Amino acid sequence: MISYNTKDWFTFIFRFHKADTFRQLLPLMVAICLYSGIIAWLELYYWQLSEKNYVRNLPVMHSLLGFAISMLLVFRTNTAYDRWWEGRKLWGSLVNSSRNLAMKLCAILPENETGHRVFFRKVIPAYAFALHNHLRKEKTRVELFEDDDLRQFFEQIDHSKHIPNQIALLIFRHIQQLHSDGKISSEQLLFINTELQSFTDVCGACERIKNTPIPFSYSVFIKKFIFFYIMTLPFGFVFQLGFYVIPVVAFIFYVLASLELIAEEIEDPFSGDQNDIPTGILAQNIHRHIAEIL
C-alpha cells in the first residue's frame, strides 16, 4: 500500500506545469531546444562533420567545468538558504520573546490593572505587524485589522517614521512609567529587560538580511557561466546523441537555471514570495497568543 507521502511525492514530480521555475524557464527552454536542433542539423547535414573532427572533443571541457559549476551552485544555494533560515529563526525568537514578555507582565501586573494589560495586549502584537510591513516595505493598512484596539493603536502612530522603533519606544516608556510609579520594582525591570531588548535586536538582524543582498557581480557571473556552458553543449554531444541532444540540453539547462532561480528567491526571505517566511501568519499567531495570556 502506497503511503500518502509517497503519493504526494509522485504527484509533485509530474506537476511541471505548476512548478514556478518550470513556468519561468519555459520560454528559454523552448529557445534552447530550437538552438540545439539547429546546431544538430548544421553539424550532421550541412557541415557534415566527421567523427574525427576536433569539435567532438568539446565534452572534455564540459566534464572539467561541470565540477566547477556544481560547486558554485551548491555554495550559492547554501548561502541563500542560510539567509532564509536565519530569518526564520529571528521570527521564531520574536514569537518567543513576545510570549515571554506577556507572561512576565501577566504575573507582575495585578489583575485590577486592566488599563496597563490592555495597552500591552495591543502594543506587543502591534510590533510584530509593524515589523512585517516594514520588512516588506508596505504601508500599514489599519483598515485590514479585525481587532479594533490594534486599528486604533496604529492610527495614532506617525507612519512617516520607523514604525517598529516607535512602538519599541512606547513599550520602553510605558515600562519605565510603571517603574517610576512603583508598580514594577527594579528587580522586575531587569527581569523583563531581556525580552524588551530582543525586539530591537530582531528588527536590526532582519534589516541586515533585507538590506544586504548577495553581491551582484557574483550572481551575474553564475548566470553567464550557465549560459555559455549550455550554449556550447550541443556542439560536442551531437556526435553521441544526434537529435536527442535537444531534450538533453534542455533538461540540463532546467536543472542548472532552476537552482539559480531558487537561490535568488529565498535569499530575500521577507519579499513576500510564495516560498518566503510567512511573517504575516506569525504576527497573527503572536496576536492570538498575547490575547490569550493577557
Kindly report, residue by residue over 207-219, the tens digit of the pLDDT: 999 998 888 888 8
CA-nearest of 168, 169, 174 to 189 is 174
pLDDT > 90: what percent of the chain? 30
Whether residue 163 is predicted with pLDDT greater than 80 in this model: the reply is: yes
Alpha-carbon gap, residue 4 to 10, rounded angstroms:
10
pLDDT of residue 10: 61
Q: Which residues contact 124 (CB under 8 A, 6 or more apart)?
A: 98, 101, 102, 171, 286, 290
Q: Where are the alpha helices (H) located in 136-185, listed in sequence order?
A: 148-155, 163-180
Cell triple for residue 174?
510605558
* Average of per-residue pLDDT across 43-51: 74
Alpha-carbon gap, residue 95 to 286, rounded angstroms:
6
Strand, coil or helix: 155: helix
Strand, coil or helix: 57: helix
Residues 249, 237 contacting (CB under 8 angstroms): yes
pLDDT in tens, 102-156: 999 998 888 888 888 888 988 899 899 889 988 987 665 554 455 565 666 666 6
* Average of per-residue pLDDT across 8-14: 62
Whether residue 16 is predicted with pLDDT greater than 50 in this model: the reply is: yes
Distance of CA 14 to the CA centre of its chain: 25
Residues 283, 132 contacting (CB under 8 angstroms): yes
